[in-house]
Amino acid sequence: MTPTEVTSGPVDSQILTVDGVSVRLGGRQILDEVRFSIGPGELVGLIGANGAGKTTLLRVILGLQATSGGRVLVNGTPVSAGRRGLIGYVPQKIQLDPDIPVRARDLVGLGLDGNRLGIPLPSRRRRLLVEEMIDAVDARAFANQRVGNLSGGEQQRIMIAHALISQPRLLLLDEPLANLDIRASNEVIALLARITTEQQVSVLISAHEMNPLLPVMDRVVYLAGGRAASGTTDEVIREDVLSKLYGYHIDVLNVHGRLLVIGHADDRFEILVGDESAAAPGHAGHSDSAAVQK
């Protein structure tokens, strides 16, 4: 299998199959024949620089963005027909007013009521499901607090529980680690890894910074220039693969155990994907190519 091919195995055995998906918006090619698949209980990182098309791809999988080519299957069913109940989603931006009178446990419960009108009726089964999800994301300590007063990491846990309570087969997360400190990021990553094992939910998590995900990712889907390479980290995060994907020379550096993807232009480099703080002091993002040595 080459890194750009769909993962082996019959389509109907995959939880998610993205088969040649293309999206063109405003005369610009956002996605260009993207192909990959995710099996049961896999945790896959969707990695790419800002503007690479990660959010557009997630919208396609959710059935919210029309395509100009290709297809998406969720549990073997075309996404337009089979999305409801099969996919849980945690959006990138969570804006919760501190004054909103909604407790964390109430927001979790709303994950059961998203397709219903009116006030949800209390029931023993509903209460048990909410309690089960609160425990699943280790949120018991703050379950009765207002969601607007929670920390970023606590809010992420509640949003994950909100997305999981309907028992989806696939969980999509759009940049869930953005704006979290290192400790909160590590806690969320450990939580997602545990959920994939305990609940056999397949997870696709988009991120600009891949290093925190390296210990838990089963595979990676790397987006650049609208195209994708998929496979294991060792298969994809390589200079030859990424140079072909970007269309110009790419270096992959290992700096104190952290991977940096470096794009070169006019004897200068830009950190495209990776932890910019790992670059030499005063050279985050852009620097002379000699600032970080291989």
**Residues 284 and 202 grouped into a single domain:** no
**Residues 230 and 131 grouped into a single domain:** yes
- Nearest 5°: the CA angle 172, 178, 183 is 105
**Residues 172 and 267 grouped into a single domain:** no
**Residues 176 and 261 grouped into a single domain:** no
Q: Is residue 185 helix, strand or coil? A: helix
Q: What is the predicted pLDDT for the residue at 245? A: 94
Does residue 50 lie in a domain region?
Answer: yes
Q: What is the dihedral of CA 54, 171, 41, 8, to 10 degrees?
A: -40
What is the residue whose two structure tokens read 């087969």? 169
Greatest CA separation for the chain? 65
Q: What is the predicted pLDDT for the residue at 250? A: 93
Provide the CB-side half-sphere exposure for 268 (13 A, CA).
7
Does residue 5 lie in a domain region?
Answer: no
pLDDT (mean) for 119-124? 64
Task: Give 286-292's long-range contacts (Cβ < 8 A, gap of 24+).
Answer: 289/264, 292/253, 292/255, 292/260, 292/262
Chain segment 262-279, per-residue pLDDT in tens: 987 666 678 888 764 444
Domain of residue 29 covers 11-236
Which has the higher per-residue pLDDT, 254 or 290?
Answer: 254
Chain segment 15-60, per-residue pLDDT in tens: 999 999 999 998 899 999 999 999 999 999 999 988 899 999 999 9
Q: What is the predicted pLDDT for the residue at 51? A: 87
**Residues 138 and 183 grouped into a single domain:** yes
**Residues 67 and 165 grouped into a single domain:** yes
CA–CA gap between residue 238 and residue 65 (Å, rounded): 31
Q: What is the predicted pLDDT for the residue at 275? A: 64
- Statement: residue 280 has pLDDT above 50: no
Kindly list the distances between the CA atom of residue 240 and the CA atoms of 3, 73, 77, 146, 262, in Å, as whole numbers in the listed order.
11, 30, 35, 49, 13
How many C-beta neighbours within 10 Å does residue 163 have? Answer: 21
**Beta strands, E only, 101-201:** 170-174
Domain end among 194, 214, 236: 236
**pLDDT, mean over the chain:** 84
Which is it for strands 258-265 and 286-288: parallel, antiparallel or unpaired? unpaired
Q: What is the predicted pLDDT for the residue at 278? A: 42
Does residue 3 lie in a domain region?
Answer: no
- How many folded domains does the chain comprise? 2
> What is the share, in percent, of the chain residues with pLDDT greater than 90?
60
Task: Give 215-218's long-range contacts (Cβ < 8 A, gap of 24+).
Answer: 215/189, 216/43, 216/189, 216/190, 216/192, 217/43, 217/44, 217/45, 218/42, 218/43, 218/44
**Residues 56 and 89 grouped into a single domain:** yes
- Nearest 5°: the CA angle 246, 222, 173 is 140
**Residues 35 and 174 grouped into a single domain:** yes
Chain segment 240-254, per-residue pLDDT in tens: 999 999 999 999 998
Domain end among 191, 215, 236: 236
pLDDT (mean) for 67-89? 83
CA–CA gap between residue 101 and residue 139 (Å, rounded): 18
Does residue 52 lie in a domain region?
Answer: yes
The pTM score is 0.85
Q: What is the predicted pLDDT for the residue at 286? A: 34
Which has the higher per-residue pLDDT, 123 or 36?
Answer: 36
Chain segment 129-176, per-residue pLDDT in tens: 999 999 999 999 999 999 989 998 999 999 999 999 989 999 999 999
How many C-beta neighbours within 10 Å does residue 276 have? Answer: 15
